[in-house]
């Protein structure tokens, strides 16, 4: 068969899905770096082509150029500088052969983000319950619900979720270490999930924290700098508009009591970690939960110690997040 020498025209002669698959197979076997170096191509800036067999995303221009050589071995592959990749050339050439093209860097839709957040918390639930799960299988199943996202982009999104949880002082999946610079929509979606599933998230925190050593717990993620002092300027009080409503004072008092006790328990755990890190775990044995052993009225809730064994009086302030 005679093939015209103009590179764009040559690319239009690429009509063999088997040749494209052979190029993709070589990419998967060698790995991205070796494949691109062998054939003299750089990384794609805009488009990838997905391997239908493994789900690997491959550099579209390199695959098209190498596939041409697979179809026409007497001509050899097209060189990187002999044709341009992109939406007008490589994308239609590979699409018409039945291959899926992935656009790099496209923002995730709300549906994609919500599906990813749900998947993340499914894995976190399994981890909290001590149930085995496979991250790669989760990744592959999730990608079937997304708009052509790569395996690595899903992993990055999971790491972004870990970063959001870490900023909230919540535990995250060990295999997905926090990475920042997350999409605003993702941060809002994680916050919304936590607020809408407070009982579930609370149970996850309890389960995950219980199996950790004190030094592994996420106390540090909850620490912030002391607030700056501000001068209070008094202004005339405005009249409040009061609306009639019913209160269950007994239920509210019980909820406040539970919240207060939970806050004090958290601080005791933090103090244990702090004293252990300072090299004085024996001081923790002298810690006194005053509000529990003596009741209210002492002016503080917990008696702990500084590094030099001086007493540290702690009053725990707690409130519900809104």
pLDDT tens profile 123-168: 999 999 889 999 999 999 999 898 878 888 899 999 999 999 988 8
- In a domain, residue 224? The reply is no
Of the two residues 228 and 98, the one the predictor is more confident about is: 98
Residue 95 and residue 44 share a domain: yes
33-47, 75-89, 237-251, 264-278: least confidently modelled range? 237-251
Residue 268 has pLDDT above 80, yes or no: yes
Residue 203 and residue 166 share a domain: yes
- In a domain, residue 242? The reply is no
Residue 6 has pLDDT above 70, yes or no: no
Residue 133 and residue 91 share a domain: no
- In a domain, residue 197? The reply is yes
Of the two residues 237 and 147, the one the predictor is more confident about is: 147
Among 73, 103, 133, the domain-final residue is 103
Q: CA torsion angle for 206, 209, 214, 218 (degrees, to 10)?
A: -110
* Closest C-alpha among 182, 200, 190, 195 to residue 117: 190
Residue range 21-63, pLDDT digits in tens = 999 999 999 999 999 999 999 999 889 999 999 888 899 999 9
- In a domain, residue 226? The reply is no
> 59 phi and psi, to 5 degrees?
-65, 120
- In a domain, residue 223? The reply is no
Domain of residue 58, residue span: 7-103
Q: Is 302 helix (H, G, I), strand (E, B) or coil?
A: strand
Residue 92 and residue 145 share a domain: no
Residue 212 and residue 129 share a domain: yes
Residue 137 and residue 97 share a domain: no
Among 77, 103, 129, the domain-final residue is 103
Of the two residues 320 and 202, the one the predictor is more confident about is: 202
Question: Cα–Cα distance between 99 and 21 in angstroms, integer?
Answer: 9
pTM of the model: 0.46
Residue 98 and residue 32 share a domain: yes
Residue 149 and residue 123 share a domain: yes
Residue 280 and residue 211 share a domain: no
Residue 97 has pLDDT above 50, yes or no: yes
Token pair recorded at residue 301: 């809730």
Q: pLDDT band at 244, cuts 50/70/90? A: low
Of the two residues 87 and 253, the one the predictor is more confident about is: 87
> 156 phi and psi, to 5 degrees?
-65, -40
Query: What is the average pLDDT across 100-109?
Result: 82
Q: What is the pLDDT of residue 103?
A: 81
Residue 320 has pLDDT above 80, yes or no: no
- In a domain, residue 319? The reply is no
Q: pLDDT band at 118, cuts 50/70/90? A: very high
Residue 259 and residue 204 share a domain: no
Q: What angle do CA 275, 284, 128 make, to 5 degrees?
A: 75
CA distances (Å), 84 to each of 43, 65, 91, 274, in order?
13, 10, 11, 59
Q: What is the pLDDT of residue 106?
A: 72
Structural domain count of the chain = 3
Asked if residue 239 lies in contact with residue 298, where contact means CB atoms within 8 angstroms, the answer is: no
CA distances (Å), 88 to each of 62, 91, 148, 161, 257, in order?
15, 7, 19, 36, 66
Among 103, 125, 160, the domain-final residue is 103
Q: What is the DSSP letter of 145?
A: T
Q: How far is CA 119 from the centre of its chain?
A: 11
- In a domain, residue 211? The reply is yes
Question: Cα–Cα distance between 156 and 19 in angstroms, integer?
Answer: 31
Residue range 175-220, pLDDT digits in tens = 899 987 778 899 999 999 998 998 888 888 878 765 554 445 556 5
Q: What is the pLDDT of residue 193?
A: 93
Length of the chain: 322
Residue 97 and residue 152 share a domain: no
Residue 134 and residue 47 share a domain: no
């Amino acid at each position: 068969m005679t093939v015209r020498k103009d590179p764009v025209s040559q690319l239009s002669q690429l009509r063999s899905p088997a040749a494209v698959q052979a190029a993709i197979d070589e990419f998967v076997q060698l790995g991205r770096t070796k494949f691109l170096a062998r054939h003299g191509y750089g990384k794609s800036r805009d488009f990838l082509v997905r391997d239908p067999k493994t789900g690997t995303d491959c550099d579209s221009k390199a695959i098209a150029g190498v596939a041409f050589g697979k179809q026409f071995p007497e001509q050899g592959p097209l060189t990187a500088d002999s044709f341009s990749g992109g939406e007008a050339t490589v994308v239609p050439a590979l699409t018409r052969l039945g291959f899926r093209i992935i656009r790099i860097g496209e923002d995730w839709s709300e549906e994609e983000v919500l599906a990813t957040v749900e998947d993340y918390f499914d894995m976190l639930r399994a981890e909290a319950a001590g149930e085995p799960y496979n991250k790669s299988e989760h990744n592959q199943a999730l990608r079937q619900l997304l708009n052509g996202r790569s395996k690595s982009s899903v992993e990055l999104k999971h790491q972004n979720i870990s970063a959001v949880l870490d900023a909230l002082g919540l535990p995250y999946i060990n295999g997905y270490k926090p990475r920042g610079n997350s999409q605003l929509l993702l941060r809002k979606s994680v916050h919304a999930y936590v607020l809408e599933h407070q009982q579930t998230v609370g149970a996850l925190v309890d389960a995950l924290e219980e199996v950790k050593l004190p030094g592994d717990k996420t106390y540090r993620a909850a620490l912030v700098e002391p607030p700056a002092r501000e001068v209070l300027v008094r202004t005339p009080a405005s009249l409040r508009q009061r609306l009639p409503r019913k209160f269950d004072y007994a239920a509210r008092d019980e909820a406040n009591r539970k919240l207060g006790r939970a806050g004090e328990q958290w601080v005791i755990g933090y103090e244990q970690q702090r004293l252990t890190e300072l090299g004085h775990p024996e001081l923790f044995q002298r810690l006194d939960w005053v509000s529990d052993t003596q009741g209210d009225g002492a002016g503080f809730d917990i008696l702990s110690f500084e590094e030099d064994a001086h007493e540290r009086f702690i009053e725990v302030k707690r409130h519900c997040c809104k």
